[in-house]
Amino acid sequence: MGATSCVETPPSLAGCMDEPWRTVSWGNNQEALQYVQEYKPEENRVKHLRVLLYGPVGSGKSSFISSVSTVLRGRIAIPAAASAITSDRSFTTRYQTHKIKEGRGNSATVYPVVFNDVMGLEGTDSGVHPDDIKLAMMGHVKEGHLFNPVAPLSENHPEYNPTPSAEDKVHVLVCVLSANASEIKDSVLEKMYRVRQMASDLGIPHVMIVTKIDEACPEAEGDLKNVYKSRYLKKKMEEFSSEVGIPVNCIFPVKNYHSEINLKPNVHTLILSALKHIIDFGDDFIEK
């Protein structure tokens, strides 16, 4: 099952609609940026809203974390390691918390939203084990844990956290998929379905980030403002919603910073829109 692009899109799905099916405030990034930068959890036991990213290998999880850092810090930043080559193996192998700093030196502070990335979902006997994602959601996985695709973390393992705090637990689960993917392997879909059920059982909000929209669709590549006019991208999001079980209003398309060396306002707009909703969903969960 390989990837496809807009070049192979059927004629009925090519081109743009006259009106966008979702509205976004293009060029009004300051208000959204301020909202994100000034957010603080009301719950005293939680200083950082924890966001856990998962998805197939190469979907852009680490790149999304780097892009969020770029947006919040106002400069190109690469805090999360991401593979620069195409591969069918996960670049992320350990459980790591990515914190985004504001300021420099001794006066630097950490934004109250942190991200965790896990090993990519692969085939039956490779990639992250779904039970490890559940343990991470519950706060049982210690920082630096090396994932074992065959066997999930056990209670007697030294990297198992037996008494997680409210801060250790995940407050939002984010599925990351590439718009460039033509199909998702059945074995990966099965894992994703299990993860979704686990999140549902735990009451954790579940959203989706769709990456590489510019690579998948010429209309979005030519003008990012066409993202919600593109027939292809709308269809892709509806397909992902049906396959994974996440409502379309919880799915957010973005373009990650990749080759750019300068900031792009429209890239910021989509990332901030997704981040704001992630924070809102997570804050609702913390309040519960």
Instruction: Indicate which CATH number applies to the domain containing 249.
Output: 3.40.50.300
Q: Is residue 206 part of a domain?
A: yes
Q: Is residue 42 part of a domain?
A: yes
Q: Are 148 and 167 within 8 A, CB to CB?
A: no
Domains in the chain, number: 1
Residue 78 tokens, joined:
């690469």
What's residue 13's pLDDT? 59
Q: Is residue 105 part of a domain?
A: yes
What's residue 91's pLDDT? 54
Q: Is residue 21 part of a domain?
A: no
Cα–Cα distance measured from residue 46 to residue 169, given in angstroms and rounded to the nearest whole number: 10
Q: Is residue 22 part of a domain?
A: no
Q: Is residue 183 part of a domain?
A: yes
Cα–Cα distance measured from residue 179 to residue 227, given in angstroms and rounded to the nearest whole number: 11
pLDDT digit string (tens) for the chain, length 288 residues: 444 334 444 444 568 999 999 999 998 899 999 999 999 998 889 999 999 999 998 899 999 999 999 999 999 876 555 444 344 544 568 899 999 988 887 778 889 999 999 888 887 677 889 999 999 999 999 999 999 888 889 999 999 999 999 999 999 999 999 998 878 888 899 999 999 999 999 999 999 999 999 999 999 999 999 999 999 999 999 999 999 999 999 999 999 998 888 999 999 999 999 999 999 999 999 998
CA dist list (Å): 134 to 203, 208, 230, 262: 12, 17, 35, 38
What's residue 4's pLDDT? 36
Taking only Cα atoms into account, the Rg of the chain, rounded to an integer number of angstroms, comes to 18
What's residue 102's pLDDT? 84
User: Model's pTM, two decimal places?
Assistant: 0.89
CA dist list (Å): 283 to 16, 102, 142: 35, 21, 23
List the domain range (segments joined by +) for residue 226.
6-16+27-287
Q: Is residue 1 part of a domain?
A: no
Cα–Cα distance measured from residue 62 to residue 98, given in angstroms and rounded to the nearest whole number: 10
Q: Are 211 and 93 within 8 A, CB to CB?
A: no
Q: Is residue 252 part of a domain?
A: yes
Q: Are 113 and 48 within 8 A, CB to CB?
A: yes
What's residue 241's pLDDT? 96
